[in-house]
Amino acid sequence: MSVLVFIELEEGKIKKSSREAISYAAALGNTTAVALGSASADELATAGANGASKVLHVSDERLNAGLIQPYAEVLAAAANSTEATIIVTAKSSLADAVVGRVAAKLGAGLVSNVVALPDTSNEFVVKRSIYTGKAFANTSITTDKKILAIKKNAIELKTDGGPADVEAFSVSLDDALFNAKITATDKAEGDVLLPEADIVVSGGRGLKGPENWGIIEDLAKTLGAATGCSKPVSDMDWRPHHEHVGQTGVKVSPSLYIAVGISGAIQHLAGVNSSKYIVVINKDEEAPFFKAADYGIVGDAFEVLPKLNEALKKALA
């Protein structure tokens, strides 16, 4: 079975979510990846650690902008060239737009938010997350070509493979494909970004003000985590809006989500309920968030977090 993986790059580096997609694909069959835009051969070869045997590199600098139409053209061409029957990508805002067009070009069935390897014992059935992570659906794909968009942090990352072969791949791209222009891009800031984070530490109104956010940032630094916040916090401009976690903000699925001083409104839960483990710290023992928590601490965040941070520093030293 020939499998093609769409690699997303961030400043010339392979995104963690794309590495997860490669690991998923490697369990299905011989895996070739395709990368678009500027990146070093050494960086692309590291995809082999995750399971790719080969990386096709389309180095056209016009692709650095991340425009949807030329990306779809390249991915469809790579699928035809490799005779791939399955295309795998990480689910993202860019990939969603790209693979939708590729599915139309190739007549492929597309399933998004995939969380497990397909069941091929009878047809081709994949398990996917639905209703913002509240339930799962088993979906059968009957087309000859199939596209699977993998949910972030849902697949175990393979890291024990050798370097992949990197080959130049040429696709003739009409100038008309680049007629669209991205006029501005607002990027999230921080050492660890929310969509890629394995651990997230979030704060709510229980922290009483932006001047108290240091205890959140200190704990996040100790854990190598991203920082997040509830919607009221971002609405009051205590924290930047790209840190807003929830149904109308960033939806996360880390291995560990720590909620500090957040009551647990349904809109917030919708953005975090795919987390593997949830820890809630709140002085109100009746806070709704405790019902969704795997572990809970009833206590004042200003007392609990400094002690927790010191204990973690010693444990991780």
Q: Are 47 and 19 in contact (CB under 8 A)?
A: yes
pLDDT at 297 over 90: yes
What letters, b where the CB count within 10 A reaches 16 and e where it falls short, cover 170-195?
ebebeeebeeeeeeeeeeeeeebbbb
CATH number at 194-316: 3.40.50.1220
pTM value is 0.81
Find, among 107, 43, 104, 36, the residue nearest to 67 by Cα. Answer: 36
Region 87-101: what's the mean pLDDT? Answer: 95
Residue 194 has a pLDDT of 84
Which residues in the chain are classed under CATH 3.40.50.620?
Answer: 2-178
CATH number at 2-178: 3.40.50.620
pLDDT per residue as tens digits for the range 31-75:
999 999 999 999 999 999 999 999 999 999 899 988 999 999 999
Please give the single-letter amino acid code of residue 10: E
Region 99-116: what's the mean pLDDT? Answer: 96
Bridge-partner residues for 149, per DSSP? 89
Average pLDDT score, the chain: 93
Residue 180 has a pLDDT of 87
